[in-house]
């Protein structure tokens, strides 16, 4: 048994290398004769065995009716092979932009299956190898969207990994399938956890209870700009004027805050990133202008959804090499 396992691992590695050469990772993958595989299912093997018995019986007893039935059923078997292959052939798979998420959440990858021929493809099944999540669907029209989930277990960049698309349509006697790798990934942010943060001799517990340190008083409104946080939108002005305005602050200096990773008390890098992530989200809700200091790298101060996403992505990839990227 000790010799069998290494041999099995070696054969499995060679197999996936062969698959990778036939279907390399791309942004869009088209299913063709080169990357579609067809084999009988268990029902198909039993069906073939039955045909063999019928053929031997017909020849032995020189029964033309049995032979005619055998040849007819064998023709159906061949037709099912062509139909299963045709059900996949020509489809184009791609990965649509998917939302980033926090560590511990379920990431959702959105796949698009395009059919240039726009013919009905029935009983297709899409499976994520890494999670086992699968979806059975029919491809009708030019394109069909399918979402599959994958549990996030570490921060960083997460790719969907190998994707299996298969079908046993129409009779379940043969199975046509293809392994696909699509370029693209999402960012997995650190899970936000409240922690202890010290600034000089002042801790976060000493900040005013009305909000985080540095938030100013609202003095007026200004027109909405792309990237402004929706939490600052003045809905009262929107209801009266029908246009978007955001709440402005009197003292911009007092609403600017720096969050430094070194200011958190924990010795664990991951815990400090979680604590910083929590405070970053709190500042974003309060509408403050904020920036992040990670080691010797200092971000620009800002606010809004785009600024928040950029800083969260920097937390997700901090001190992670390409080898640390989630696959």
Angle at 294 between CA 292 and CA 297, to 5 degrees: 90
Q: How far apart are CA 73 and CA 69, in angstroms?
A: 6
Q: How many residues does the chain have?
A: 327
Peptide bond into 314 cis (omega under 30): no
Q: Which residue has the tokens 């798979």?
A: 93
* Every domain of the chain and the residues it spans: 11-187, 198-322
Per-residue pLDDT of the chain (327 residues; tens, 9 = 90+): 566 777 777 887 887 788 777 778 888 999 998 889 999 999 999 999 999 999 999 999 888 999 999 999 999 999 999 999 999 999 999 998 889 999 999 999 999 999 998 888 999 999 998 888 899 999 888 889 999 999 999 999 999 988 999 999 989 999 999 999 998 899 999 999 988 776 543 334 333 333 344 444 444 566 766 556 666 777 776 677 777 777 665 444 445 688 888 888 888 999 999 999 999 998 888 888 889 999 888 888 888 889 999 999 999 999 886 444 555
Token representation of residue 132 = 């086992």
User: What string of H, E and C letters represents the secondary structure of the chain?
Assistant: CCCHHHHHHHHHHHHHHHHHHHCCCECEEECCCCCCEEEECHHHHHHHHHHHHHHHHHHHCCCHHHHHHHHHHHHHHHHHHHHHHHHHCCCEEEEECCCCEECCCEEEEEEEEECCCCCCEEEEEEEECCCCCEEEEEECCCEEEEEEEEECCCCEEECCCEEEEEECCCCCCEEEEEEEEECCCEEEECCCCCCCEEECCEEHHHCCCCCCCCCCCEEEEEECCCCCCHHHECHHHHHHHCCCEEEEECCHHHHEEEEEHHHECCCCHHHHHHHHHHHHHHHHHHCCEEEEEECCEECCCECCHHHHHHHHHHHHCCCCCHHHCEC
């Amino acid at each position: 048994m000790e010799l069998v396992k290494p041999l099995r691992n070696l054969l499995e590695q060679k197999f996936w290398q062969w698959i990778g050469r036939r279907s390399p990772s791309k942004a869009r993958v088209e299913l063709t004769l080169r990357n579609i595989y067809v084999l009988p299912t268990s029902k198909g093997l039993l069906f073939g065995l039955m045909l063999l018995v019928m053929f031997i019986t017909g020849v032995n007893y020189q029964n033309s009716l049995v032979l005619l039935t055998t040849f007819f059923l064998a023709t159906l078997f061949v037709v099912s092979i062509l139909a299963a292959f045709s059900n996949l052939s020509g489809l184009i798979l791609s990965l649509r932009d998917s939302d980033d998420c926090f560590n511990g959440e379920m990431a959702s990858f959105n796949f698009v299956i395009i059919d240039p021929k726009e013919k009905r493809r029935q009983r297709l099944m899409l499976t994520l190898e890494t999670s086992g999540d699968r979806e059975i669907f029919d491809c009708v029209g030019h394109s069909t969207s399918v979402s599959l989930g994958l549990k996030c277990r570490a921060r960083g960049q997460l790719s969907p990994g190998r994707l299996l698309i298969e079908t046993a349509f129409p009779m379940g006697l043969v199975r046509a399938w293809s392994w696909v790798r699509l370029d693209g990934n999402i960012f997995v942010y650190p899970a936000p956890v409240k922690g202890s943060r010290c600034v000089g001799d002042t801790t976060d517990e000493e900040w005013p209870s009305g909000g985080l340190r540095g938030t100013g008083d609202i003095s007026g409104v200004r027109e909405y700009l792309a990237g402004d946080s929706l939490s600052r939108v003045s809905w009262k002005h929107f209801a009266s004027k029908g246009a978007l305005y955001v709440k402005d602050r009197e003292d911009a200096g007092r609403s600017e805050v720096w969050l430094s990773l070194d200011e958190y008390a924990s010795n664990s890098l991951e815990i400090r990133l979680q604590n910083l992530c929590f405070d970053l989200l709190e500042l974003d809700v309060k509408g403050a202008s904020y920036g992040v200091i990670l080691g010797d790298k200092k971000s620009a101060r800002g606010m809004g959804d785009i600024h928040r996403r950029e800083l969260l992505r920097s937390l997700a990839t901090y001190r992670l090499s390409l080898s640390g990227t989630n696959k």
